[in-house]
Amino acid sequence: MDLGNIYRWMLALSSIYGYATTVYIRGIIDSTITFNCSLRGLSTKHAIIWTGPPYKDYYSVQNHIYVENIPEHLKARLKIVGNFPKGFYNLQIKDLHPSDTGFYICHQYRSKRNEYFYLVVIDLNVTVSKPSYVGEIGSSITLGCSISSESSNVSEVRWYFHSNRGYHPLETSCNAENQGKPTCRTGKYSKPTPANPSLTIEKLDLNDVGPYMCSATNQDGLTVNSTTTTLSLLDSKEIRKVVFVLGLICFLLVLLVVTRLVLRKNKPMFFLQIAYTFQKAEDDDSKLWDAFVSFKSQDADHQFVSSKLYMKLETQLGYKLCIHHKDFLPGKAIANNIVDSIANSRRTILIISREYLQGGYTTFELEMAHAEMISTKSKHKIIPVLLDKYENLQGLMDDTLKHIIQSVTYITWPGETSQRDVKAFWKRLELSMPKKSRKLCIRSDENTPLLSSWLDSST
């Protein structure tokens, strides 16, 4: 006779004399179970000792576990839990396995009271696919259910619906006994099988709203129920509302992304004006110029810089521009002049045309301005001014210029066709320049000989 049968006889005799209590527990495979045992009503001289299969020695004393006495397959899954200061020393087993079946005994040391727990692990697991479902009135819906069992075959699957009177089995066909019951509706429910335990409900209506439960019975007659899944319904009007709201949200998100991209390329004057208003003055540093002007010394580009850009920004608005014709030091290497001039300027204005993109020193000026912007963490800003449409120049730009165009706002020269567009161009350019505590306008009689000759060459 094995120890399991011996314990059964001992349990029967102990129960007759009142020395033992018995708790029969069914645990589902892969779940967690806890056997409760405490020292309530006993003095601190007593202790809780747990034993279990193969009954050779104790598993634990109080909350101390003797790992060497626990079967190998159970070591990592067994522990003592509870409120120890109040005398609760409960045995917990995680991820139940069929091999865990057997007696688990709580010995109340120095007391005649023992508690016996007989655990049967059911190798049958029933789960619903989702905790809730939403259907549409008049349509059909399938409530998912999965069943797993390794040691025994499933003989029957049923679904239950909860009404005011509790759970009732759903009938796939009606007879004289169940005719007229809410859960008996011919052609309404599919017949669940062990191979396909899911439930399909046809022609949904308000009577179908509520909690459902999937249940399976194995060949040994053991039945396991799943957790509940709840079905709710939306009528066609509510669905249209949901679709409308979701569509509106998607439209607003797309609009937001497009607006952000557009604003990054061409910020409205309103935002530029607000940013400029709260901008701090930048002329308290040791910089010599407000902006370094990078342009190609071709007739059209030279004409734009000398007769328009210089006359507007420096002569009228009082900004100090660094222009290589008038500010580069004679005898100094051109590359050094470029590097020092950019480092001593608060902005770099790029006058971008087809000629500008042909290369030469303009490429070096562009790269130095980009490096200065990065090293100063964008304190030195780059202002791209396009003399042609962006689409016409994009194919000629190198990677550095494309990166700059994508990261800062560029301004396009509108030409002389519209006085309003020209006025907006100069206003946008002014708001991109560094804010100064005061501006000094150059009078015509203050022009130096070098400046006068440069201006004369452009006329």
**End-to-end Cα separation, the chain, in angstroms:** 120
151 has pLDDT over 80: no
- Mean pLDDT over 3-31 rounds to 62
pLDDT > 90 in the chain, percent: 44
pLDDT > 70 in the chain, percent: 81
User: Is 123 in contact with 29 (CB distance < 8 Å)?
Assistant: yes
Location of structure tokens 């009082």? 318
The per-residue pLDDT for 168 is 87
From CA 409, how far away is CA 405, in angstroms rounded?
A: 7
Higher model confidence: residue 390 or residue 39? 390
The per-residue pLDDT for 65 is 93
Higher model confidence: residue 40 or residue 95? 95
From CA 8, how far away is CA 105, in angstroms rounded?
A: 12
